[in-house]
C-alpha cells in the first residue's frame, strides 16, 4: 500500500492558524493615507509587521505605493529591503558601533535619538562621508529622542559638519490615543519649534492616533502602525479599519462535565450546571494570554470579563484557566452537532475584534498581535481593491 501525501494542506490541518487579509491591509493603509491629506504616508512594519510577517506585509504595502517604511532594528530593515527595493527604510533604534556595514549595504536610514548616537554618527560621517539620517527629538514623551534644547542648539550650530544632513526630523506623541489630553497640544507646539528650526527638512509627528487628531499634526510624513493592521488607534471611538488578522484554534476534544465539577488548573472554575466543554490547541505559549482566563486570575476579581471565542455563529466564553498549550471553552449553549472535534474556534478576527480580546487580557491590541507564537500556520489572502 502506497500513501500519497502530495495533497497535504498544512493550513487546513493546523492546530493553530492565522489568516492575514492583505486586501484589508491595503485598504486600511490607503484610508490612513486619505486621512493624512497632503502628507505622505509611511508604513510601520516593526516587530515582524506587528506579528503578521514583515516579508508579505512589506511587499504588499510597497506594491500598494508605500515608499517610506519604519522598522525597529537594522536586521528588520535588511529583511525588508528585499521586498521594498526602492523605499526609504528608517531604523527606529538607530545605529551603534559595528553596525555600519548592515546600514550601508542595505541602504538603511538610522534615526539618531541620543547624544551618544549623535557623537558616533558624526565620527561615521568623518570616515565615510555624506549619508542620510533622521533625527528624533523628545517633545515630552521621555523615551527616545534628543532633548529639545539640544536639538535646537544643534539646528543653530554653524560648526556642525556639512555631511550631517538629516532627511527627516521626528517626534512621537505620548497621548495621541486620548484626543482630549492637553499633552497633545503641548507636544505639537514643541514640535513646531523643532520643525521651524530645521527649516527645509521634512517633519513627522503623527502615528495612527495622531492622524485622527487632524491636519495640524500631519506635517510632511505620517506613520500609521496599528490602524493599518485593523486594530483600534483611539479607544472609545468607532474603529473605521477593516480587520486584517484572524486567529483560529482547532478543537481537539469535547467533553461533558457535571454540575459541581471543576475545570482546569487550581480548580478555579466550578461549574454550576451540566456543561459541554471544547478543548482547543491554543494557550499562552501562542500569545493567547493566561490573563484572559475566566477564573483564577486577578482581572476577574475586578469585574473585567474573561476571553471569548466564536464558533458556529456564537460567542462562547473561556472556561477556567488558560494553560500553556490549551484553552477550554464552554459550548454548553450550542447544539451538540454545531461543535465537534476538528472544528475551529476564532480567537480573534472579524467576530471577536482583537481589541476586545486584548481588553479581556488587560492589555491592548498591539500586544495581542505581536505576542502570537511561531506555531500558527499562516495563510495570506488577497482581493482586488479599488484605487
Q: Which of 46, 62, 229, 284 is catalytic?
A: 46
Confirm whether 46 is a catalytic residue: yes
| Contacts with 244 (C-beta within 8 Å, 6 or more apart), sequence order | 20, 21, 24, 25, 28, 52, 228, 229, 230
The answer to whether the Cα torsion of 153, 158, 163, 169 is positive or negative is: positive
The 3-class secondary structure across 153-186, one letter per residue, is HHHHCCCCCCCCCEEEEECCCCCCCCCCCHHHHH
Q: Calculate helix-pair angle for 22-35, 54-64, nearest 10 degrees.
A: 50
User: Shortest CA distance to 68 belongs to which of 99, 44, 49?
Assistant: 44
- 229 phi/psi in degrees, rounded to 5: -90, 5
- Report how far residue 164's alpha carbon sits from residue 171's, in angstroms, rounded to the nearest whole number: 19
Q: Which of 128, 193, 265, 288 is catalytic?
A: 265
- Report how far residue 107's alpha carbon sits from residue 195's, in angstroms, rounded to the nearest whole number: 25
Which neighbouring-strand residues pair with 269?
263
Confirm whether 315 is a catalytic residue: no
Alpha helices (H) along 86-166: 100-105, 115-128, 148-156
Known catalytic residues are 46, 265
Amino acid at each position: 500500500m502506497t500513501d500519497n501525501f502530495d495533497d497535504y494542506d498544512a493550513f487546513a490541518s493546523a492546530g493553530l492558524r492565522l489568516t492575514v487579509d492583505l486586501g484589508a491591509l491595503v485598504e486600511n493603509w490607503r484610508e490612513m493615507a486619505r486621512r493624512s491629506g497632503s502628507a505622505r504616508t509611511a508604513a510601520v512594519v516593526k516587530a515582524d509587521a506587528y506579528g503578521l510577517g514583515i516579508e508579505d506585509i512589506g511587499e504588499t504595502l510597497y506594491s500598494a505605493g508605500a515608499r517610506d517604511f519604519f522598522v525597529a532594528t537594522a536586521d528588520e530593515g535588511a529583511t525588508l529591503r528585499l521586498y521594498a527595493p526602492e523605499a526609504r527604510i528608517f531604523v527606529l533604534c538607530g545605529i551603534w558601533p559595528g553596525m555600519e556595514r548592515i546600514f550601508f549595504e542595505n541602504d538603511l536610514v538610522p534615526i539618531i535619538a541620543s547624544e551618544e548616537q549623535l557623537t558616533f554618527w558624526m565620527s561615521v560621517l568623518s570616515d565615510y562621508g555624506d549619508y542620510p539620517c533622521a533625527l528624533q527629538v523628545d517633545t515630552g514623551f521621555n523615551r527616545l529622542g534628543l532633548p529639545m534644547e539640544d536639538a535646537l542648539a544643534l539646528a543653530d550650530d554653524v560648526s556642525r559638519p556639512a555631511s550631517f544632513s538629516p532627511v527627516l526630523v521626528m517626534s512621537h506623541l505620548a497621548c495621541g490615543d486620548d484626543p482630549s489630553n492637553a499633552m497633545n497640544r503641548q507636544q505639537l507646539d514643541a514640535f513646531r519649534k523643532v520643525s521651524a528650526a530645521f527649516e527645509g527638512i521634512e517633519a513627522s509627528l503623527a502615528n495612527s492616533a495622531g492622524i485622527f487628531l487632524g491636519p495640524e499634526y500631519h506635517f510632511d510624513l505620517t506613520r500609521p502602525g496599528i490602524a493599518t493592521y485593523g486594530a483600534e488607534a483611539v479607544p472609545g471611538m468607532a474603529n473605521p479599519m477593516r480587520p486584517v488578522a484572524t486567529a483560529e484554534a482547532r478543537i481537539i476534544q469535547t467533553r461533558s462535565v457535571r454540575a459541581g465539577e471543576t475545570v482546569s488548573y487550581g480548580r478555579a472554575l466550578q461549574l454550576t450546571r451540566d456543561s459541554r466543554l471544547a478543548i482547543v490547541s491554543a494557550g499562552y505559549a501562542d500569545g493567547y494570554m493566561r490573563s484572559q482566563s475566566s477564573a483564577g486570575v486577578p482581572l476577574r476579581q475586578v469585574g473585567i470579563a474573561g476571553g471569548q471565542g466564536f464558533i458556529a455563529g456564537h460567542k462562547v466564553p473561556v472556561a477556567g484557566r488558560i494553560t500553556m498549550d490549551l484553552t477550554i471553552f464552554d459550548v454548553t449553549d450550542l447544539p451538540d452537532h454545531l461543535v465537534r472535534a476538528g472544528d475551529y474556534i476564532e480567537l480573534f478576527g472579524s467576530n471577536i475584534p482583537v481589541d476586545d480580546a486584548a481588553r479581556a487580557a488587560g492589555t491592548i491590541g498591539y500586544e495581542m498581535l505581536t505576542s502570537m507564537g511561531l506555531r500558527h500556520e499562516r495563510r495570506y489572502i488577497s482581493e482586488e481593491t479599488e484605487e
